Chains A and B, each alone.
Chain A
Amino acid sequence: MTAALDIVQLSRLQFGLTAMYHFLFVPLTLGLAVILGIMESVYVMTGRDIWRRMTKFWGVLFGINFAMGVATGITMEFQFGMNWAYYSHYVGDVFGAPLAIEGLMAFFLEATFIGLFFFGWDKLSKVAHLAVTWLVALGSNLSALWILVANGWMQHPVGARFNPDTMRMEVTDFMSVIFNPVAQAKFVHTVSAGYVTGAIFVLAISSLYLLRGKHVEIAKRSATVAASFGLAAALSVVVLGDESGYTAGENQKMKIAAMEAMWDTEAAPASFTLFGLPNEATHETDYAVRVPWMLGLIATRSISGEVPGIKPLVAHAEERIRSGLIAYGALEKIRAGRPAAGAGGDATALNADDRVTLTAHADDLGYALLLKKIRPDVTNASDSEISQAAWSTVPAVSPLFWSFRIMVGLGFFFIGLFATAFYLASSRKLVQSRAFLWVALCALPLPWVAAELGWFVAEVGRQPWVIEGVLPTFMAVSSISASNVLITLIGFIVFYSTLAVVDVYLMTKAIRLGPTIGEPRSPAAIAPAAFPAAAE
């Protein structure tokens, strides 16, 4: 390792930064889209104009945020090919499909109708416009579904097989890719987290208006919508947390063991370490405060299910490396036996015995590739090198341990916040409860903290794999010069930082102007007295 960042580190840094930046905007889009749908539904059902004005006001903020989401999202799609070319070759046969379907089924829907959401108020009937709003919300949710099908496959690659003739993974069962339990759990968890983000955004800004005594009628109603929607969403984030999906695969087990800093397997049901200092040198957790049974219950939803610890998982990884080396040896013979280019004939029929061997051990091929980081001729690896590679399957324990705990703590805080807001709103005490309004306002950044930590846990916990058990991250990069990646990395940082400043400035300006923006310049719409706001 040299002191300078190598291509793998630079590519990871670029992907991590651009993904986390993109994910500043996505959760708010997911949540606000549904909240807009709810508000406009109330407008169409009751006919009260204040609900139309609410929809238009929150719609302005939605639009600014959506633009940033689109601007940063396109980078993500290009980046797989630009920085992760070997990844794109190696798993494109499986991974490309959910991205393409996302465009065709979800993003087309969202992006085509979002224009009508803003430009269609005077051109559509009430019901038609409501349908447009819900189609935008549907599109953004379907979009999350397909992206998480793709991401879920990286965490738990089902329904695919290695093909030695094309040197890549190829799909065998697309249904199991779609109904991947990890993907389904992640989808519910991520979308609910987006709803929480949207709800806190609306609740916090409404609280600001109530504290200042401005736009009170709109703020009161918005806060009520946010409180009820947010409470349901916050409960679903925790209850349907995607931890349940972590028991599905080998690396998912490793991830949960690392998140819990659980070095050895405990007798079922395992205890949950509330606090402690994971020590990565001694493989112990110092000063641990444990809650009996809790982890076993959370992770396996049973009292008999065992949650394996890090050490036994490493021992198992060592076995898989040895099995993977058999597959790797067979693959080398198949490649060596391939006829010269242009010789014709059916290359897929050669080396029948080696093909049988490869098939028998193909699931472990990726484990042999872990050795590539240690030596290029992996078949000559010594026992100590194999053990070193096996320990490389353990992700960084302490960051995962702490990130996970902060995220979960925030999750429970959100439930309390929304429950209180819901109680205050339904007993009509919200406007007077200034202390609570302050808490709600200060909570504004917290859902983003939780969401970013959630991604961090999911993706750092996946290391050293880019595709769990199939392809190590260090092999997945493009064979391009590190300086190119550095140039684009700096470019993105400068470009994105500038846009972030502009975005926050415009958001703040729109919030300061309040619900008066987004209205046609006709006298009737400006005079608040025209609407019987006190009709409640």
Chain B
Amino acid sequence: MSAMTTPLPATPATWKLPYRGTVAMACLIIAESSIFTIFVVAYLYYAGKSLSGPTPREVLETPIFGTICLLSSSLTVHFAARFLHLNRRSGFLALWFLTILLGGIFLLGTAREWHRLIYERGLTISTNLFGTTYYSLVGLHATHVVVGLIMLTIVFLFGVAGRVGHEQSGRVEVLALYWHFVDAVWVVVFSVVYLIAR
């Protein structure tokens, strides 16, 4: 019944709504924050309540280098997206690759720490409450890093194939937003695990 739609008023001159990708990523970040909140609450609630060792003070080593790498990857991904927005593709690819590299180094650091904890210190997820909450919280974050790295790598491969241009910069920025979130969560996880509940 198109006849009914014609007398509707004319289109307003300016009608611009937020980009749906950004809105959706913001929603996803809200939802993910909620999941992390529950795990952080569990970690803090059980801090110091383990009935047996090892305790965090005995076994944890602060991963400063990995943290620096991960946090700086937020900068590189930001400027990579910026370069793409300005249509400077080689700069985008270089910084994008650097982001993946920094994220990879962080993940490697976590892997080495876990290896040390499991094989040298005998702390597994079933050892005590600390093990359960530590591996869950850090593992949940590491899972998000892995997912982020997979997505970053896919974009990188497309970029190398010459398929990522200026017109995709909106979408790339959405992915960058996710990566910023992964970094921001690490700030919280790092503070809780290595500083507050030590």
A and B held together in a complex: no
A residues near B (Cβ < 8 Å) are none
Q: Which residues of B line the A interface, CB within 8 A?
A: none
